[in-house]
Structure 1
């Protein structure tokens, strides 16, 4: 008997296993841009020598390496993420990663490994050895050392059954996700083969159903037996998902014969289509679903909801019928009775259907053609609502329930938000008002429960400090891409507001007014305010640096080998961002501090420099400082000839400066 209590089985067609842990990889190995090295598709036959020692992320995929030798990556001890997929690797030295004590993500998928290698370092979190040529899933004893392993991806075209002892070495490992990718022959898990993985939460099995070929080569894509036959008695399952499957014809028992289990809590059918343009037939005993709380039928083309099934699941808390062909008439179908339905439902998603009447069927109606008219009646236990992408207008707040805690009204044509409208929802925690035409937010808003507020992509020119004070529990404010007026009245926003509240800060905050600052980062407010506090600062200050050197990273070799030594040998103190930026500070703050603490700002101009994303900001801050102090503190050094017509349009001021000021040139010889 399989003794699982919380495993999840996903049976999907053409589901890319790499996407299952892509976000996890990013979170585990957050690296600096200069510590990331992409050498994929470089036709490497061996791991390149003399790689930068500070490399944290290395992608060597899609080349011709056949062996990993003991010292191949010893010179990059800070390596956290290594991708060696799509090579011809047949052998891996047991000591190859001995010097890589912090590596967390290792991908060796789609190689020629005949056996599953031994891995001895305990810090691995994601290990992908799918798409290889081993003939057994038996994991060696070295896997007992992988005490941090969360994601394990396996897969081979030569194994059709998992044996009882295959995963015994994972008995005390906190593995939560086991993914079988590229395993076309895998048909059966012997009872007990996964039972020892005590923390397992999710099992993903990728199956190919030839849905790309079925239209042209149906004779090669027929399945004579139920591919899920091996799961009929899997009583451990609590979550089951069928994703992106196209059926040619049904078996005698229907398209799906679900497991005999009374523990199933979540059931998903997403993107299930039938080649014969009929609905897939699901053979299910509703008695097995007595504990189900989550049910999703999405992307199936249905126009009548599965009423009998819904009514038979009293504990259902989430019902997702999105991305179908449902309309008001389908819900009025005589076979459906909703007098006893949804007694504890909290989330109902009907997005991307064809509903029109909000008063008849209310919640989660994104991407429909909703009209407001009759009064709406909402059950008190329904607490989340999404009406996004419908043309509703300002009056929509009058049709909503005071019991709602999460409301999504993005792209609904709202132009004004009042204090009265928002405070009619005393338990509101999440409010999404993105992509409307809202011009202002009430300064006297008082919502103690509010945690998340999205007002990005509107017509808001300023946000008052009173608004934030009225939301004491707020931990996420998305307000970027608004036409902000960058005056001193908004100074509090960049000085008093905790920028950790702003997930889109700083790049989405630009000035729309006054005209002279249009398009610049809102942080110019800090510069303006500092200049207002004293134009004589330059004359009275003692500088930390003689010059701040602004240059492109692509020109760093010339700066470090020629410019810096030639100036510092005369006793000049230079501020170089690679060396002198303070770790932990926001980049723009580092730029401002270096500009203001330097007597001059020296710009090393090149084609690379004028294309860099930070050049415009460094030039702007330095120019503002020069204007406010009435001192000529800008020095231009042309590393190479830059034709005037090659400068981007936004650098018209630079063209003027180069015409009016004397500058230095580095001769071609």
Structure 2
């Protein structure tokens, strides 16, 4: 009993633990509910209580009630930006203790008196109608807050002071409605990144910017056009007192000379990384003096640059950037058509000119980029791979080159890559197999994904240092030969056309520890079994095994993982298939032969066939006899030797005639007419019989009368052309004992099928059925049909005579 109770307790404990785990899994799942862009005017009433992420942005909601959110206890993210909220209930978020992300931007809030949850990490209340930032006084307890977005018409020290204890990672401040700024207010902010947007105030702008550049080391200005019209001396003063290291400017449109002036001021400030994006160059591009000395600048990023100037000396534009003595220069999506080579040895270590329109003539014979380590020319107008190689041959420090997304071609030209290149990206370049003849020899990392490569040519040199090779989205039909890459570690051949990889690669490339082959159209037949077996020995070698490796063919296995594919050994191994299939077939044939041999199956088939043929001949001969007008008294005349009389009387006649007397056999002992010659009796009996049966045996050929009977029956066969002979072979007759005068018997036995008397009693029934079928006919019906035929013939003759007489009478009348 105690053991039973213990068992029940254990089971109950397991069930409780399972339930808790299941509940926790459900609890950890995120339920996202999206009602954005639904033209809602109030909070929806069908939000699930399990919702963790709720998006109500871009609607027309004017008010939130306490009851709208108090049941959403699992809510973590609430986005209600771009609505028409004018106020928030004081207790609106009291039940949402888990809320971490709250976006109330772009509404019509004038004041916020609610208490925000303590777990809040993201709060955006920017682009509302706040007069002051008194709302900040309620944020001082949000110690987990990382992002804060806000803005007001007035920025006062007393408001900012309330959030000064907070260690914020990112502060966003919209200044589009700013009319008054109290000096020193923003200096109270404690943040790693300060982002100011839409500055439109002219008054007190100097004081604002002077504080801004001392708040954080990272500063971003977006759509702050009025900054550009500050006096140059003021800009210099701001720059000299700045602690900004990372400076970003977005959404500007300015003349070339003003851009150059601002860049010059920044160049001599504390800024090390300068980013300029989404801007347009206006005015005339003239050559201006630019002082590159005494700068802390190390990186310049230019992205998405447009120009309204179309006719200018392009060298002026490109020379401004090529002479920058910095380590990193990134100019992307700027429609640059060229780039000048520096006039003197440059400090450039990283150059990125992605998404421009540069040809492969750029940097040809450039000897001043001696410190360059990374060159990115992706998505340009490069065309000849050999020309690209000559671009790099004097870049003695170059290690990484990226020329992806260019329409490159290689026509067996000489390539002269820099010997220092170890990493190369040639993705999406429409390259073919010949690309392996134009690659840096010391390369260790190579990306040839999304090209038109089908195999690795055999006439290439070894890449002794190559460790990573990406061949994804090409047209390989098998794994490449690892002989050319003796130190390869990682191979990407996913999404090619490999049906069943050969294991030769795995055996040859012992150094390859990671292979990605997912997305290939695997053919799940015998050929792939060996590969699957090798992979199962070291499954960690295949990246994303087994989930991403599925059968493509045949159709009935499509979607089945290779790890689950199984095909019996017998279907694939011919050495097993032959014994298992061929041997049973041979055994079955031998067994069938034995059965046929000992059970006389062929004899039965032979007798059935003869019975069928006999039936057919019976119908044919019946119609023939009608034509002859023959009349029969007997079904058959039997001819036999006196030595075989006992068999005929005791076995044959009782078996054929039986008890119903439906078949009448003519036998000489009972049907020959006394007093007549024997020959006459024989002829009469044969003519009065439907068939003639001859019982053949060695005694038969010794009988003179049997010879006569066979002679007359044979003569009838030829004269009337009727099939009236039935030969029964009672005993075997050796050919040598048949006299020469019995030539007809030899001929008949050679040409006609005879019925052989079986010794087995089980076969007698079928034997006599064949005999009866051969002679079975209703003689009375035959007499009646013959009489009808004779009457019809007589009537036809009379009609012919009458026609003839009528014709003669007509002839006489004419005469």
TM over 0.5: yes
In 1, Cα distance between the equivalents of 2:165 and 2:357? 51
Indicate the RMSD between aligned Cα atoms, in angstroms. Answer: 4.5
Aligned partner of 2:279 in structure 1 is 245
Q: How far has the Cα of 1:262 moved from its partner?
A: 0.9
* TM-aligned CA distance change 1:401 to 1:245, over 3 Å: same
In 2, Cα distance between the equivalents of 1:426 and 1:500? 22
Aligned partner of 2:357 in structure 1 is 325
In 2, Cα distance between the equivalents of 1:494 and 1:40? 50
In 1, Cα distance between the equivalents of 2:215 and 2:29? 32
Question: Do structure 1's residue 106 and structure 2's residue 128 form an aligned pair?
Answer: no
Describe the superposition over 1:87-113 as per-residue Cα deviations: whole angstroms up to 9, x where unpaired.
222222362223xx2x32333333223
Q: How far has the Cα of 1:404 moved from its partner?
A: 3.1
Describe the superposition over 1:348-398 as per-residue Cα deviations: whole angstroms up to 9, x where unpaired.
122232222222223433333322232322224433322222222123123
Q: How far has the Cα of 1:294 moved from its partner?
A: 1.1
Q: How far has the Cα of 1:123 moved from its partner?
A: 1.8
Describe the superposition over 1:549-607 as per-residue Cα deviations: whole angstroms up to 9, x where unpaired.
xxxxxxxxxxxxxxxxxxxxxxxxxxxxxxxxxxxxxxxxxxxxxxxxxxxxxxxxxxx
Q: How far has the Cα of 1:514 moved from its partner?
A: 3.3
Match of 1:391 among 408, 430, 438: 430
Aligned partner of 2:496 in structure 1 is 458
* TM-aligned CA distance change 1:418 to 1:369, over 3 Å: closer
Question: Do structure 1's residue 127 and structure 2's residue 148 form an aligned pair?
Answer: yes
Match of 1:40 among 43, 57, 70: 57
In 2, Cα distance between the equivalents of 1:274 and 1:406? 38
* TM-aligned CA distance change 1:407 to 1:115, over 3 Å: farther
Larger Rg: 2
Q: How far has the Cα of 1:191 moved from its partner?
A: 4.2
Question: Do structure 1's residue 153 and structure 2's residue 172 form an aligned pair?
Answer: yes
In 2, Cα distance between the equivalents of 1:196 and 1:30? 40
Provide the secondary structure at the position in 2 that maps to 1:269. Answer: strand
Match of 1:365 among 371, 391, 403: 403
Describe the superposition over 1:464-502 as per-residue Cα deviations: whole angstroms up to 9, x where unpaired.
794997444x5xx76543323467654886996469954
Q: For structure 1, list consecutive stretches of 5 or more residues without a partner in the other structure.
A: 1-28, 211-219, 533-669
On the 8 A contact 2:479/2:493 being kept in 1, the answer is no
Provide the secondary structure at the position in 1 that maps to 2:277. Answer: strand
Aligned partner of 1:514 in structure 2 is 554
Match of 1:80 among 94, 100, 107: 100
* TM-aligned CA distance change 1:97 to 1:346, over 3 Å: same
On the 8 A contact 2:271/2:297 being kept in 1, the answer is yes
On the 8 A contact 1:233/1:261 being kept in 2, the answer is no
On the 8 A contact 1:262/1:287 being kept in 2, the answer is no
Provide the secondary structure at the position in 2 that maps to 1:370. Answer: coil
* TM-aligned CA distance change 1:66 to 1:411, over 3 Å: same
On the 8 A contact 2:323/2:343 being kept in 1, the answer is no
Higher helix share: 2
Match of 1:378 among 401, 417, 428: 417
Question: Do structure 1's residue 207 and structure 2's residue 223 form an aligned pair?
Answer: yes
Match of 2:112 among 83, 92, 105: 92
Question: Do structure 1's residue 275 and structure 2's residue 302 form an aligned pair?
Answer: no
* TM-aligned CA distance change 1:247 to 1:143, over 3 Å: same
Q: Choose 235-244 or 89-98, whichever is displaced more.
A: 89-98
Q: Choose 181-190 or 113-122, whichever is displaced more.
A: 181-190
Aligned partner of 2:477 in structure 1 is 439
In 2, Cα distance between the equivalents of 1:80 and 1:531? 57
Match of 2:79 among 59, 62, 77: 59
* TM-aligned CA distance change 1:348 to 1:86, over 3 Å: same
Q: How far has the Cα of 1:154 moved from its partner?
A: 1.8
On the 8 A contact 2:88/2:112 being kept in 1, the answer is yes
In 1, Cα distance between the equivalents of 2:186 and 2:542? 43
In 1, Cα distance between the equivalents of 2:183 and 2:162? 18
Match of 1:349 among 352, 376, 380: 376
Q: For structure 2, list consecutive stretches of 5 or more residues without a partner in the other structure.
A: 1-27, 33-50, 227-251, 390-400, 570-815
In 2, Cα distance between the equivalents of 1:184 and 1:499? 60
Describe the superposition over 1:628-659 as per-residue Cα deviations: whole angstroms up to 9, x where unpaired.
xxxxxxxxxxxxxxxxxxxxxxxxxxxxxxxx
Provide the secondary structure at the position in 2 that maps to 1:397. Answer: helix
Provide the secondary structure at the position in 2 that maps to 1:395. Answer: helix
Aligned partner of 1:622 in structure 2 is none
On the 8 A contact 2:199/2:225 being kept in 1, the answer is no
On the 8 A contact 2:464/2:487 being kept in 1, the answer is no
Question: Do structure 1's residue 401 and structure 2's residue 435 form an aligned pair?
Answer: no
Aligned partner of 1:483 in structure 2 is 521
* TM-aligned CA distance change 1:251 to 1:528, over 3 Å: closer
Question: Do structure 1's residue 266 and structure 2's residue 299 form an aligned pair?
Answer: yes
In 1, Cα distance between the equivalents of 2:458 and 2:124? 53
TM-score, length of structure 2 as denominator length = 0.49
Q: How far has the Cα of 1:406 moved from its partner?
A: 3.5
Aligned partner of 2:7 in structure 1 is none
* TM-aligned CA distance change 1:312 to 1:71, over 3 Å: farther
Q: How far has the Cα of 1:315 moved from its partner?
A: 2.2
Q: How far has the Cα of 1:237 moved from its partner?
A: 1.0
In 1, Cα distance between the equivalents of 2:542 and 2:109? 44
Q: Choose 62-71 or 177-186, whichever is displaced more.
A: 177-186
Match of 1:314 among 322, 333, 346: 346
In 1, Cα distance between the equivalents of 2:542 and 2:523? 22
On the 8 A contact 2:85/2:109 being kept in 1, the answer is yes
On the 8 A contact 1:36/1:56 being kept in 2, the answer is yes
* TM-aligned CA distance change 1:355 to 1:287, over 3 Å: closer
Describe the superposition over 1:127-160 as per-residue Cα deviations: whole angstroms up to 9, x where unpaired.
333xx4333386723433433x322222221459
On the 8 A contact 1:153/1:180 being kept in 2, the answer is yes
On the 8 A contact 2:277/2:302 being kept in 1, the answer is yes
Q: How far has the Cα of 1:206 moved from its partner?
A: 1.6
Q: How far has the Cα of 1:459 moved from its partner?
A: 1.9
In 2, Cα distance between the equivalents of 1:470 and 1:418? 21
* TM-aligned CA distance change 1:273 to 1:39, over 3 Å: closer
